[in-house]
Amino acid sequence: MPSSPSNGPPAWHIAAVYGFATINDPEGLCAHLEGLCASAGLRGTLLIAPEGVNGTLAGNRSGLDSILATLAETTGAARLEVKRAQAETAPFHRLKVRVKREIVTMGRPDLDPAHRAGTYVEPGEWNALISDPDTVVIDTRNDYEVAVGTFEGAVDPRTPSFRDFPDWFEREGRALLAERGRAARVAMFCTGGIRCEKATALLRSEGVDEVFHLKGGILNYLETVPEAESLWRGECFVFDERVAVGHGLEAGSHTLCRGCRMPVSAEGRRSPLYVEGVCCDRCHDRDPARQAGYAERQRQVQIAATRGIEHVGARLTPPQPLPLLDVEPSGGEGNPTCVRPND
């Protein structure tokens, strides 16, 4: 178990990782990796699918480095996208290694992002690409994420789930590109890179050849591009306790509604329909019995806070900045949750 002396360096090293690769035996690889992760004392979640690997793991530095090296070797991924962070306390309670049909759920396991994804664009070159009037810029994230912030001029597909993106492209996206009257250039982006990487593979499978995507996603852009030069507007929703971040990956102004798990802006919290820990203007008229339970939970949270103790389901200290690359709730559907792998 990782440990550190008082006032020493953080004990837990964290890595969010994904990579598209052809995995011929997901079950066998899952069993192999689960044993290695357990032996190394790692916690977190790792997903294995025929299209690649995806997850967030935490432990000591040497154990984490060993598993990352093994992932690169056993999957044969051309590139593993890794984001690291550190924490003083354990960010996960247990280890889960699972086999899934897709590492990011689009409902299209037939796609081949490992070999058919679009062209990466570095954050420093992104502004020039999306400022070109011949470029169609598409946000591949969900509607509640886009509402928190997006790039200037980007198309919002208004999809509640990544599963809905293929239907949007067939219903509206294809016609949008056809309006250009010639082969369109498409630039796509998402939180950390994984969804737009798969979305570019979808467009290429549909005959769109000139497709680009932002390397490392919005998080990489916000971390590396100076705010004075930025074309980003608003904040970036993230699936952890920070809720949203701004330039420099500083925590933003949004909080999470504990009733519907949706982000709430400062303006939304001023609404008379907002009740902290219970509901917001999106969910105020839902199941009264459930809201009564939320109200009781919030009361217990407040009692615990006055006593200086931690209540289950409440975080009394500032959240650790876990570097989740690009996430969806389990299965790619439903409402956002906190601290999940990149699925």
Average pLDDT over residues 28-47: 96
17 and 94 housed in the same domain: yes
132 and 208 housed in the same domain: yes
Q: What pLDDT, on the 0 to 100 scale, is given for residue 200?
A: 97
172 and 215 housed in the same domain: yes
CATH number at residue 50: 3.30.70.100
Give the full edge-to-edge strand order of the sheet including 119-121. Answer: 119-121, 211-214, 185-189, 135-139
Q: Are 163 and 105 in contact (CB under 8 A)?
A: yes
Whole-number Å distance between alpha carbons of 190 and 219: 9
Q: Is residue 61 part of a domain?
A: yes
Whole-number Å distance between alpha carbons of 189 and 150: 9
Domain boundary among 178, 195, 228: 228
Whole-number Å distance between alpha carbons of 254 and 55: 25
Q: Is residue 223 part of a domain?
A: yes
Catalytic residue selected from 190, 236, 257, 279: 190
Q: Are 44 and 56 in contact (CB under 8 A)?
A: yes
pLDDT at 156 over 60: yes
Domain boundary among 65, 99, 133: 99
86 and 117 housed in the same domain: no
192 and 157 housed in the same domain: yes
Q: Is residue 321 part of a domain?
A: no
CATH number at residue 198: 3.40.250.10
Q: Is residue 203 part of a domain?
A: yes
Q: Is residue 108 part of a domain?
A: no
pLDDT at 219 over 90: yes
Q: Is residue 239 part of a domain?
A: no
93 and 46 housed in the same domain: yes
90 and 122 housed in the same domain: no
198 and 135 housed in the same domain: yes
267 and 214 housed in the same domain: no
Average pLDDT over residues 301-314: 62
Q: Are 324 and 45 in contact (CB under 8 A)?
A: no
What would the pLDDT profile of 225-268 be if each residue is shown by its tens digit?
A: 999 999 999 999 988 778 899 999 888 999 888 888 889 999 99
Q: Is residue 25 part of a domain?
A: yes
Q: What pLDDT, on the 0 to 100 scale, is given for residue 85?
A: 84
* Distance set, CA 285 to CA 27, 34, 149 (Å): 44, 44, 26
Q: What pLDDT, on the 0 to 100 scale, is given for residue 61?
A: 94
Domain count along the chain: 3
Domain boundary among 74, 99, 124: 99
pLDDT at 330 over 80: no
186 and 260 housed in the same domain: no
Active site residue 30: no
Average pLDDT over residues 319-333: 41
Q: What pLDDT, on the 0 to 100 scale, is given for residue 213?
A: 97
Q: What letter represents residue 313's amino acid? A: G
31 and 77 housed in the same domain: yes
Average pLDDT over residues 308-325: 47
What would the pLDDT profile of 190-216 be if each residue is shown by its tens digit?
A: 999 999 999 999 999 999 989 999 999
| Structural domain boundaries, residue 88 | 12-99
Q: Is residue 242 part of a domain?
A: no
Q: What pLDDT, on the 0 to 100 scale, is given for residue 323?
A: 40
90 and 120 housed in the same domain: no
Q: How high does pLDDT run on average in the chain? A: 85
